[in-house]
Structure 1
């Protein structure tokens, strides 16, 4: 059984001494709510600590969420949909897919370009390369709750790239502040234009801005790439669903606002149910407590088995089938308990970049479906790699180019806010 689960009916069990796994919505709610003070906040990587895992304080988390909140809304991302569609089309024009396509390298390359655009307002090849190095060096256990931590060599590589990115973002912050009137077109622009008017004597705002950009730059690359990969993997095996999404993809609305991709959103929800990027959530016990009859001492860890909850027949009929229609209005997914769907966590630690993940996944998938039909190879080699995230390792698809209408010339982005930064 996955994670050493004794039986499908077991809701909580010891994975190892000091590590309890829970796999029901009610137990997940209790652990994530944190109202009793028994469970601490998640572990996170931070540029403040030279790649060391830290337990962030409530004030740091609040400051970071407050700083970024206006740019994490569906409305903000919708306003930038035409620019994102243009960037994706330009990338696919310059990098046509081969007949037999190894999926993940392309998706990571594309989402890195989009992440640097949304976070920093630049399409600089240098920044995209820096972001790629950061992603590659980051230990797989970055996500809170992974039971296996990164190796020492991985941590040293991460440390080197983290320092490089931190220094670069600091330089970019200073450069952007020197612009006469930066347009609020990226997360960086928003942070600069909303900085304290009385300066930053204690450096707190600078630290929050650095950390906000640093963490968002990493997560905006990884989650959309994995969600897109798993969705393409499923669509290649379900041609009827692929055809349905292609009809939506060729509609003009698909290129004006990401939130209008309702069928694509349903399919993305279903892909995230089957293959949640964050497949484990974790909390550390701060005060002695009991969960499902198991006594926990301070220092013990509790892991929430997100993928097991989301594939439980008690909450989702035919749980191993790809059924996007279950997410339609009135579909069976609406009957599932609140915490039976946790691909982005829940409660105060819910991922604030959810709108970015849905938008980048939806726009990338629709752009690909306008150009190609996808089928699975006869002997697929894809397998989930369970580290910090659930990655579709070895994903390969067969691509058939489709007739495509002419595309208007790409808009050339210029100005101070889009300068290539050294």
Structure 2
């Protein structure tokens, strides 16, 4: 469709601060009200539009790295289209080499170790009520470090946890400040970022100084063995840091919603537990043996996608649908709203795992828990495996007590999480 050159309608906002205050007071409520009033596309401000049309979101994903950038930062940086394009090339080259070389043996070994990490994490919680999100952050941080670094993972989850904690108050604000700004939060962010990169670099050098293994044992082995092209140290550093950070919070939020769902729905717990008990193999079961667990996982990701708000930045003058965009303009969209839109989903707000078991194919482009296109989440497949096996381990070996779970309302902050959700885990 030809661009009109006209901005979509949107709320006028307040003097000087625009819509920031109203948005921060109730983020999801603000987005819902604006979509109800202005339609599937509205202007948040003069440089930002928000869309809720599946086809426009798909177009945005498909043109990422070409017309749009997916890069984001916890601090304010001037938009540089050439730098953005170069950064995208570095990232894509590294991830292509990594996933192309990651063999089944390394992935299977990681999955096998996951079970021990899960048990270790829950054992540390004891039988007392704990903050489930913080517990699952500990688990997902260990899992990500194991996947990326294998035997060299010791100490890395703690460094990544500090890096993530330093990012949270910055990226959770609607107003970003430059890196030179005299702020304790920004200083903490700089130090935490350096510590993470130093930890990764130390392990790269250690690995390069040792004889290369016959077969890759983890992602770092794969990246260092890559040829055509060979990856630079910078590429390896950035890919590993990106994965370690992404795999810290998002899977933890997903696991927290999964635990809450199973704890508050005894019928689903029983279905998944019966399936888990039926597995008598020595190895971890494949997803094909866990259809009930996988269906619950998919429905949890539909109703509560941790990355509830995503965005892209225009690299060059372009358009989206009939709306013109200039370099630096942002396009935002909410998977949460797409996943709960009654136009695309019957009984959209109802938790119904059977919709996946019955192969009721959703409307095309309306289910995006991991994004799509060339910058789709690199851990999509691994994430589904980890969550499904998490449901398997949980219902097979534990009991969960969470009497106040229904009061843990969704919180739309950096990630979508059930606020204040606490539970106790005991051996079955």
User: Could you tell me which residue of structure 2 aligns to residue 174 of structure 1?
Assistant: 205
- Secondary structure (helix, strand or coil) at the match of 1:5 reads helix
The one of 207, 217, 225 aligned to 2:234: 207
Gap runs ≥5 in structure 2: 1-28
TM-score normalised to the size of structure 1? 0.81
- Using the TM superposition, give the Cα deviation of residue 351 of structure 1 relative to its aligned residue in structure 2, in angstroms: 0.9
Cα deviations by residue, 1:376-414 (Å, 9 ceiling, x for unpaired): 424744233323322333112355x353xxxxxxxxxxx
Cα deviations by residue, 1:352-376 (Å, 9 ceiling, x for unpaired): 1112212222223322222333354
| Backbone CA RMSD of aligned residues | 3.3
Cα deviations by residue, 1:67-92 (Å, 9 ceiling, x for unpaired): 32146688853443222212322333
The one of 207, 226, 234 aligned to 1:194: 226
The one of 155, 158, 163 aligned to 2:194: 163
1:85 aligns with 2:102: no
- Using the TM superposition, give the Cα deviation of residue 124 of structure 1 relative to its aligned residue in structure 2, in angstroms: 5.2
Cα distance 1:228–1:75, how it changes in 2: closer, same or farther (>3 A)? farther
Cα deviations by residue, 1:127-155 (Å, 9 ceiling, x for unpaired): 22212212211236769xx9554795433
User: Could you tell me which residue of structure 2 aligns to residue 65 of structure 1?
Assistant: 95
Moved over 6 A (4+): 71-75
Cα deviations by residue, 1:88-126 (Å, 9 ceiling, x for unpaired): 22333344242x332111111111112111111137552
- Secondary structure (helix, strand or coil) at the match of 2:42 reads strand
1:237 aligns with 2:264: yes
- Using the TM superposition, give the Cα deviation of residue 196 of structure 1 relative to its aligned residue in structure 2, in angstroms: 7.2
The one of 336, 341, 345 aligned to 2:367: 341
- Using the TM superposition, give the Cα deviation of residue 209 of structure 1 relative to its aligned residue in structure 2, in angstroms: 0.9
Cα distance 1:286–1:88, how it changes in 2: closer, same or farther (>3 A)? closer
1:102 and 1:395 in contact (8 A); partners too: yes
Gap runs ≥5 in structure 1: 404-422
- Using the TM superposition, give the Cα deviation of residue 287 of structure 1 relative to its aligned residue in structure 2, in angstroms: 4.2
- Secondary structure (helix, strand or coil) at the match of 2:253 reads helix
- Using the TM superposition, give the Cα deviation of residue 21 of structure 1 relative to its aligned residue in structure 2, in angstroms: 0.7
User: Could you tell me which residue of structure 1 aligns to residue 11 of structure 2?
Assistant: none
Cα distance 1:368–1:8, how it changes in 2: closer, same or farther (>3 A)? farther
Q: Could you tell me how far apart the structure 2 residues matched to 1:9 and 1:252 are?
A: 55
2:106 and 2:216 in contact (8 A); partners too: no
TM-score normalised to the size of structure 2? 0.80
